[in-house]
Structure 1
Amino acid sequence: MIISSASSNSTAAAAYAKTQSALETGLSVDDSDDLSLSSTDKASFGETLEAAVEGAVTSSKEAEVKAASGLKGNGNLTDIVTSISQAQMVLQTASAVRDKVIQSYQDIMRMTI
């Protein structure tokens, strides 16, 4: 099955919007199937980016706290490994987004007027 890039982009955008609304409402992605946000309830790009950065910082701090407690001999090893893996995944995602933003900026700068 061949999917055109336009339908692929709209599908990805719809999935992103569904996930974002689930995060904002505290529901799981499956529970938010029937929800539709009005234009006043949608977060701006800046607000969404700010929330993502705050989530990344929180995830890193939690991983540091759990790693420190593990070094002291306290804590559950599974929780420690899970939180560190989650923080690593968040860092990799942030790096990928940063690379895409830089690439987009460079593409825009190469455009002729």
Structure 2
Amino acid sequence: MLDGVGRFPSVGTGSQYGLAQPTPVAPAPTPQTAPVRTEPLPSDFGAVLGQMTLEAISTLRSSEQTAVAGVRGQATAQQVVEAVMDAEQTLQTAIAIRDKVVASYLEVSRMAI
């Protein structure tokens, strides 16, 4: 409310009005950094594609093993769902890359030499 002069009265800490005092907030945890690769990155497209293929195969095998462990009762439902989602993402990525490679090949084959 305004005082008699048209000014707002000074605002206190809030405790005088029965308001709860804010509690200090702990600093947010810092995100973990991605692991640093120690091996050198491949320098040509074929090597990169080969490495990605091997990683995709590894992910799919791991997901299969987790799914089988879930059927046997050795893995939780959450682990199985996460593994299946990883496998699905890996498969979608592989399909997208394949489609781009095929489209690029068709584009190159249409070029006049």
Note whether the superposition's TM-score is higher than 0.5.
Answer: yes
How far off is 1:46 after superposition? 2.0
Greater per-residue helix proportion: 1
Aligned length: 78
TM-score by length of 1: 0.62
Q: Tell me: CA distance 1:42–1:68, structure 2 relative to 1, closer, same or farther (3 Å).
A: closer
Q: Aligned ranges for residues 25-44 of structure 1 at < 5 Å?
A: 25=37, 41-44=40-43
- Report the aligned-residue RMSD: 1.8
TM-score by length of 2: 0.62
Aligned equivalents of 1:93, 1:49: Cα separation in 2:
12
- Structure with higher Rg: it is 2
For residue 105 of structure 2, give the secondary structure of its aligned residue in structure 1: helix
Aligned equivalents of 2:107, 2:42: Cα separation in 1:
27
Q: Aligned ranges for residues 19-98 of structure 1 at < 5 Å?
A: 25=37, 41-44=40-43, 45-98=45-98
Deviation by residue 1:52-93 (Cα, 9 ceiling, x = unmatched): 111100100011101001111221211111111011111111
How far off is 1:42 after superposition? 4.3
Aligned equivalents of 1:47, 1:107: Cα separation in 2:
22
Structure 1: runs of 5 or more not aligned? 1-21, 27-40
Structure 2: runs of 5 or more not aligned? 1-33
